[in-house]
Amino acid sequence: MRTLIKEQEAETSRLTNILSPLKLDVMNLPEELKKLVEVISLANQQACELEETTDISFKLNDVTENQTRALQRLQNLEKVQESLHQMSLADNLEQITRKKETEFLSKKIGEYAGHVRHLERKLEAVDYTPDIGHGSLKKRSKELSLAIEKLSQLRSKLDVYSDLTPDLNLAKIQVQNAKDELMQLESLITDNISNINSN
């Protein structure tokens, strides 16, 4: 487009150079030549306007491209912002969940600690000591069962001695020995029962 304008300007200058030596002015030219000059002038004017329009079009294209790039950047920034917002919401939700779990666990720890203290007080109230634990009681129960079994055997012997023969002196000695042994076992059983009750 600029080349065409330059060519028209060059043509106008050439015609002016040709007419000037002939003492011809553009205003004194025949009607056809005047029209031709007007057409050339109008063409020059339109060419300038077209060039300006073309420049504006190019600038408009640049503006449009810049606008498109700016919109794309804006959309990308909006996506990043939304992603950060979602991450922030997720973090907040996780923090709330952890806080609730921590509060729940702290409450349970307090409840269990109170329960343990309550049980400790109950054990103190019954004078609990480790020697009356399950294992110790089981052992003492076994010892008591053995003593009761021996006592039963001695009672059987004593029943036999009560039907002794007329040898009274020997029978008395045997009976007394059996009674002494029986008393020892009864004393042992009584001591075991007393120990269990005292604990």
Last residue of a domain, one of 86, 117, 139: 86
pLDDT of residue 139: 77
72: left (phi over 0), alpha (psi -120 to 50) or beta: alpha
Residue 134 shares a structural domain with residue 73: no
What is the rounded CA–CA span in Å between residue 195 and residue 132?
Answer: 10
147 part of a folded domain: yes
Residue 82 shares a structural domain with residue 16: yes
pTM over 0.75: no
Cα 188 → chain centroid: 66
108 part of a folded domain: no
Residue numbers of the domain that contains 23: 2-86
168 part of a folded domain: yes
In 3D space, the residue among 127, 186, 124 whose CA is nearest the CA of residue 151 turns out to be: 186
What's the number of domains the chain is made of?
2
Residue 76 shares a structural domain with residue 150: no
Q: Which residues of 35-70 are buried (b: 16+ CB within 10 A; e: fewer)?
A: eebeeeeebbeebeeeeeeeeeeeeeeeeeeeeeee
Cα 143 → chain centroid: 58
pLDDT tens for the 199 residues of the chain, in order: 566 566 666 766 766 666 666 555 555 556 666 666 667 667 767 766 666 676 666 776 777 787 788 888 888 888 888 888 888 888 788 888 888 888 888 888 888 888 888 877 877 776 666 665 667 677 777 877 887 777 777 777 666 656 555 666 777 777 788 788 888 888 877 777 776 666 5
25 part of a folded domain: yes
Last residue of a domain, one of 55, 86, 117: 86
Residue 81 shares a structural domain with residue 26: yes
pLDDT of residue 67: 79
